[in-house]
Structure 1
């Protein structure tokens, strides 16, 4: 039998390892695609379920407005009725759009649409009768119970869908668990095979090295080559272990926490946790993609926005941090109350600037933040002023809006907020500037583009 040379052993070893690695990558990719598909189904089903709740709520508004007007004759109830009419059409249109490509066909809209149409008709008839013939005639229609019967049917359809949704989500979760387990088994098998191959190669290399003792230079060169290749293999194994084992273990642990008798709330809690794991895995990439999207997006939708509404929404979102820090936040939008702008971008600008002011507050005094607007030189300006830690602009001013730049020790500091804010503002043809003094506070000024 022909003896293998050292070179042959190395070539065969890495050839087998690459085959095993290719199989692992292919298997892992297929499993990951299935997990991704299941996650999309989970999100899609959750969205449809949420819209169904809004359909039910709008139907209740129609019934409430109809009954209120029938009893009191107060036109204010008609506003509730009209609002329900408008909203329910919007939500039904959304459901139709979402279910056109619903291959699972877990939601049938025909019956629901018929019931809603019937509800609209009987409500309209009741209101018309109340206006033309008085409350007693309208009450007779209500007493027939037809309206209640329709509402009960709508509730039954929504409940049936939710039950079906739980069943489907459970099946997809079980499938995801199996995919994760299979991926872990593949990785373990790959590790074992790699170890055996490397061990076998090591034995063969030792045997061949004895025959090459007379050629010390060749021996040393071959050992150096093997050391380098082994180091590359170890580096790859370490990266693979780090990138696959931790998230796989997290997902497996979460899935293992679900049992046959688990409640819907428990399912929702696990799904929320799984969503956080997925978010953490993709956060850095998503941030870069978002920046690229901001740079490339040439058709950003604008609408007239009231600054007070955006400010209120931001304060409500940060309410926990505000209460924790006992911060005082004031505003004045009298000089410029509205602007034609992108809602998403404006909310992002408000959130980043105010949350930064809270995050980098001075611990020696009560945080004070003032947000205001003004109109000058045919431009709208936004000012956000705080009494926080401040920034050394002489030292850090040139990199203040850079990506991953952090100037204070804070566990939640990531160095992406100001970078994103600047990118969004400049995409809308605006500018952002800052004035700051260490220990006294910071003043951000945003000039919105026309």
Structure 2
């Protein structure tokens, strides 16, 4: 068999890469559609819960207007009563339109509507008795407790309705996480295949170009290019595996805080936190995809707000913050913005703050302070905690090493600080640490100019 020519090698490499990319693009599109559908379900659930809250509020308006009129005889209270009636018609119709194809939810809605009708009848009887016979007759009707019994049933019905919606939401969030993980796995496989193809192409091209160019020059050029590509691919894989693990665990932690008897306000609070974590997870995926567009050693910079990056990090770590009861303070008054790589800055914030939470001292409330400073026209970032601390005499020389672990923790991987140092130094900066055992740790980031 004859030798493969340079042109044939390039053509084959191009065809294989394009084919692999097409397969990957189709797979990612398919998974993205599934994620999009689940996101629509999340929005739908949020809308249902919001309308249910309005139904409950309008029912309370009816009760408030009835009691106010019973006690005072003031017709102005009936405005609240009538307003509640009108709003209930609107919100019940909204719920009907949201659940047109869901037979199970429609049955629940039928039950709720009957209870509301009963409440309206009881309230109407009380108002009629107050108007025609006086307060004593109306009070006797109220004392019978039928109105309170119906109102309690309405609250239970709405709570059951919302609990069911939250269960559906939890299932879809879990499915979304599976789809995201599958998309990441396929993307990693694409990277591996592409890298293998590039290595093969490099070998074949080098063999053929010896006859055309000086061996030393072509070897240096190709090796430099492949080294840069290899560094970027490794960096991308490390950031992906490290940074996406935390949002996933935070979703689990937030869901775990919900109890069967939790009040609806807690459900709403947890749902809002879940929405932000899911959004940040999606944003992180999109930003990680953009890393592939970085060419050679050029890293794209943009003007970034320290506070915005900090807020996004806090949202992603909300589950761990709630669980630990951590107090986190941030002060970016002296320096509020910096020109930097977005994915690197978010990774730096995430790693340093998550480490402070992870290695907290169990006997005291975690306190974390983040602040920026400018000295001699150089921007500094400080992350200070009161956690376990590190014995720098013993471990100071290896604190930023790969796979170095200084405390027993089930989630410790020994890669976060190594990756942070690599990212900072690639942007011409430096990172240092000061720490005392059982007192706390201060990380100082000096950003390059």
TM-score, normalised via structure 2 length = 0.53
Asked if structure 2 preserves the Cα contact closer than 8 Å seen for 1:70 and 1:130, the reply is yes
- The answer to whether structure 1 residue 188 and structure 2 residue 192 are counterparts is no
- The answer to whether structure 1 residue 167 and structure 2 residue 187 are counterparts is no
Asked if structure 1 preserves the Cα contact closer than 8 Å seen for 2:70 and 2:126, the reply is yes
- The answer to whether structure 1 residue 256 and structure 2 residue 249 are counterparts is yes
What CA deviation, in whole Å up to 9, does each residue of 1:356-389 have, x standing for no partner? xxxxxxx9xxxxxxxxxxxxxxxxxxxxxxxxxx
- The answer to whether structure 1 residue 138 and structure 2 residue 126 are counterparts is no
Asked if structure 2 preserves the Cα contact closer than 8 Å seen for 1:99 and 1:107, the reply is no
Q: Structure 2 matches for 1:13-162, cutoff 5 A? A: 13-100=13-100, 105=105, 108-162=108-162
Q: CA RMSD in A?
A: 3.9
- The answer to whether structure 1 residue 268 and structure 2 residue 268 are counterparts is no
What CA deviation, in whole Å up to 9, does each residue of 1:214-250 have, x standing for no partner? x669x9xxx8xx98xx89x969x979x98x9979976
For the residue of structure 2 that corresponds to 1:75, the secondary structure is coil
Partner Cα distance (2:116, 2:245) in 1: 43
Structure 2 CA distance for partners of 1:39 and 1:99, relative to 1, 3 Å: same
* Gap regions ≥5 residues in structure 1: 283-362, 364-408, 413-450
For the residue of structure 2 that corresponds to 1:108, the secondary structure is helix
Partner Cα distance (1:100, 1:247) in 2: 41
C-alpha deviation, 1:173, in angstroms: 1.2
C-alpha deviation, 1:3, in angstroms: 3.0
Partner Cα distance (2:105, 2:113) in 1: 16
C-alpha deviation, 1:107, in angstroms: 7.5
Asked if structure 2 preserves the Cα contact closer than 8 Å seen for 1:65 and 1:79, the reply is yes
What CA deviation, in whole Å up to 9, does each residue of 1:40-99 have, x standing for no partner? 111110111011011101101111211221222222221221121122222212222222
Q: Structure 2 matches for 1:23-422, cutoff 5 A? A: 23-100=23-100, 105=105, 108-210=108-210, 213=211, 252-257=245-250, 258-259=252-253, 261-263=256-258, 264=267, 265-275=269-279
Structure 2 CA distance for partners of 1:280 and 1:85, relative to 1, 3 Å: farther
Partner Cα distance (2:101, 2:25) in 1: 31
For the residue of structure 2 that corresponds to 1:3, the secondary structure is coil
Structure 2 CA distance for partners of 1:266 and 1:56, relative to 1, 3 Å: closer
Partner Cα distance (2:23, 2:245) in 1: 22
C-alpha deviation, 1:108, in angstroms: 3.2
TM-score, normalised via structure 1 length = 0.53
What CA deviation, in whole Å up to 9, does each residue of 1:234-291 have, x standing for no partner? 69x979x98x997997665322212362334445313234346668999xxxxxxxxx
Partner Cα distance (1:174, 1:189) in 2: 23
For the residue of structure 2 that corresponds to 1:47, the secondary structure is helix
Figure out how many residues of one structure are paired with residues of the other and give that number. Answer: 277
* Gap regions ≥5 residues in structure 2: 259-266, 287-332, 339-449
Asked if structure 2 preserves the Cα contact closer than 8 Å seen for 1:180 and 1:252, the reply is no
What CA deviation, in whole Å up to 9, does each residue of 1:311-367 have, x standing for no partner? xxxxxxxxxxxxxxxxxxxxxxxxxxxxxxxxxxxxxxxxxxxxxxxxxxxx9xxxx
Partner Cα distance (1:83, 1:65) in 2: 9
Structure 2 CA distance for partners of 1:410 and 1:216, relative to 1, 3 Å: closer
C-alpha deviation, 1:169, in angstroms: 1.4
For the residue of structure 2 that corresponds to 1:23, the secondary structure is helix
C-alpha deviation, 1:184, in angstroms: 1.4
Asked if structure 2 preserves the Cα contact closer than 8 Å seen for 1:177 and 1:255, the reply is yes
C-alpha deviation, 1:33, in angstroms: 1.3
Structure 2 CA distance for partners of 1:115 and 1:106, relative to 1, 3 Å: closer
